[in-house]
Amino acid sequence: IVEFEDVNKYFGQTHVLKDVSMEVEEQEVTVIIGPSGSGKSTLLRCTNRLEEIQSGQIRLDGDAISASDADVDQLRQRIGMVFQSFNLFPHMTAKENIMLGPTEVKGIPEEEASERAESLIDKVGLGDQGDSYPEELSGGQQQRVAIARALAMDPDVMLFDEVTSALDPELVGEVLDVMEDLATGGMTMLVVTHEMGFAREVGDTITLMSDGKIAERRPAAEFFEQPQTERGQEFLSRLL
Ligand code: ATP
Ligand code: MG
């Protein structure tokens, strides 16, 4: 459903993505791992057109995401993204945050958006917290609101960039559980994370980035059993 074909990205002279090609299937969970600076965030940001690429193609369901005449607003509705920082609007309740996109961008009637927001609040395990303001919520709860907000746009694909990295350790699990539920429900996901338990259990495919390239990409079970590249072996040995 998401195809990357010889994607190249430069920041000035710095070559950040180098001939990146991969295909993420519908309902697949791809976990992207690799050292700091290897291009993981950039790859996700290019997928959501937060960054432009200089050559190659990124396609969503056959539509060129990276084309200069692509309808960026429409594409972003089809690709939800959640970041390390939750970026909720502080003056709005959890529910209002979740309703904003559907009502303002998609023009969905208030009542319908409200019902949908409530069901999403339940889905991320925040049944009683819909009327709470972000500052009244823990980091883990805020991040679950951010996930619900992205889901409210009914995306085809969800991108997650280190969404648990800023959380206290005891709050990581509740966010990963929501992501696992989503994966089980068949959502197509690209997930940058350092949580190797999640990668192994929930990931279908591991993509190891190194210096702007895909060093290795294979089914999660195979990768953790026996990586086929030196980079992969190095990466795993550092985890042990
Ligand atoms: P981390 O694990 O630390 O989040 P990453 O794999 O996500 O790292 P990226 O953030 O994608 O790495 O960065 C890849 C490279 O691109 C790095 O060399 C970084 O310095 C560079 N880079 C990223 N964003 C910019 C920017 N806006 N301007 C210039 N260079 C950038
Ligand atoms: Mg990053």
pLDDT of residue 86: 85
DSSP string, 134-174: GGGS-HHHHHHHHHHHHHTT--SEEEEESTTTTS-HHHHHH
CA distance 228 to 225: 10
Closest Cα to atom 29 of ligand 1? 11
Q: Above pLDDT 70, what percent of the chain?
A: 100
Is residue 196 scored above 90 in pLDDT?
yes
pLDDT of residue 124: 95
Pairing relation of β-strands 188-192 and 29-33?
A: parallel
For ligand 1, pick from 38, 85, 194, 231 the residue to mutate: most ligand atoms within 8 Å of CB: 38
Question: What mean pLDDT is predicted for residues 89-115?
Answer: 95
Is residue 59 scored above 80 in pLDDT?
yes
| Distance, first Cα to last Cα, the chain | 34
Q: Work out the pLDDT band at 65, boundaries 50, 70, 90.
A: confident
pLDDT of residue 73: 84
Q: Work out the pLDDT band at 38, boundaries 50, 70, 90.
A: very high
> What average pLDDT is seen over the chain?
94
pLDDT of residue 67: 80
Question: What mean pLDDT is predicted for residues 3-21?
Answer: 96
This model of the complex carries an ipTM of: 0.97
Is residue 71 scored above 90 in pLDDT?
no
For ligand 1, pick from 9, 40, 47 the residue to mutate: most ligand atoms within 8 Å of CB: 40
Query: What is the DSSP code (8-state) at residue 224?
Result: H
CB of 38 within 6 A of ligand 1: the answer is yes
